[in-house]
Amino acid sequence: MGKDVIIACDFDSAEKTFAFLDKFTGKKPFVKIGMELYYAEGPSIVKEIKKRGHKIFLDLKLHDIPNTVKKSMAVLSRLDVDMTNLHAAGTKRMMQAAIEGLTRPDGTRPMLIAVTQLTSTDQESMENDLLIKAPIDEVVMHYASCASEAGLDGVVCSPLEAGKVHDRCGKNFVTVTPGVRFADGDIGDQKRVMTPAEANKIGSDYIVVGRPITAADDPVAAYERCCKEFIG
């Protein structure tokens, strides 16, 4: 498992995505395809980006009954992505079913990571809307433990939680962390942020970076700066 910078390709069309990726003539970055782009363009966007030589994190956050998730993961597995994800709230049984579906006949499979509590959920909305009364930090750590026990490879979490997740679930349990900003950059709508260097120090394995790279005047330079600060 290698440390890497994953660029969030939050575009709404293949055209905009390729205009962006065409700028990278050297190293092909690891990219994240989320719901917006996937729902706009379908599986072909995954195949085309893969063909261009990029690693892919397919961020579709599955959450359904175990049988449906298992069958959907089997379909996603055939797209040959490198990493995909689901909601830990779907239960351990759903996560185990997802692994079964994702595993190819030869025993290989993409990395599978879990979303714990979305960072848009706060203590108040968790208590009032979901009737979960435990402190949110405890809920995040509990979901991480469940994901680890179900055999998943890691979780998406805030860089601020990455160290605690490693303490609880072990060094090899991968932490994928969004909410990364350059020290001299715009925070935008993110609330709790870290620089790539800080994310490295605290033990993030992969950082997911969107606008600091996609909206930069020189995206390739911003990507290279990010890699240098995070990986060295």
For residue 47, the one-letter residue type is K
Q: Which of residues 187-206 bind ligand C5P (CB under 6 A)?
A: 190
Determine which residue in the list 7, 11, 24, 34 makes contact with ligand C5P, applying CB under 6 A.
34
- In a 3-state reduction of DSSP, which class is residue 47? helix
Asked if 34 and 225 count as a contact pair (C-beta separation under 8 A), the reply is no
Residues in the interface with ligand C5P (CB under 6 A) total 14
Asked if 213 and 180 count as a contact pair (C-beta separation under 8 A), the reply is no
Taking CB under 6 A as the rule, does residue 177 contact ligand C5P? Answer: no
Q: How far is the CB of 156 from ligand C5P (least distance, A)?
A: 5
Q: How far is the CB of 196 from ligand C5P (least distance, A)?
A: 11
Taking CB under 6 A as the rule, does residue 125 contact ligand C5P? Answer: no
Q: Which of residues 204-223 bind ligand C5P (CB under 6 A)?
A: 208-212
Q: Respond yes or no: is residue 171 known to be catalytic.
A: no
CA 202 to chain centre: 17
Cα dist. 198→8, 115, 175, 179, 232 in Å?
Answer: 19, 22, 14, 12, 12
Taking CB under 6 A as the rule, does residue 119 contact ligand C5P? Answer: yes
Q: Which of 16, 55, 61, 92 is catalytic?
A: 61
Rounding to the nearest 10 degrees, give the CA dihedral for residues 82, 62, 107, 176. 40
Q: Which positions are catalytic?
A: 61
Contact positions vs ligand C5P (CB under 6 A): 8, 10, 34, 118-119, 156, 178-179, 190, 208-212
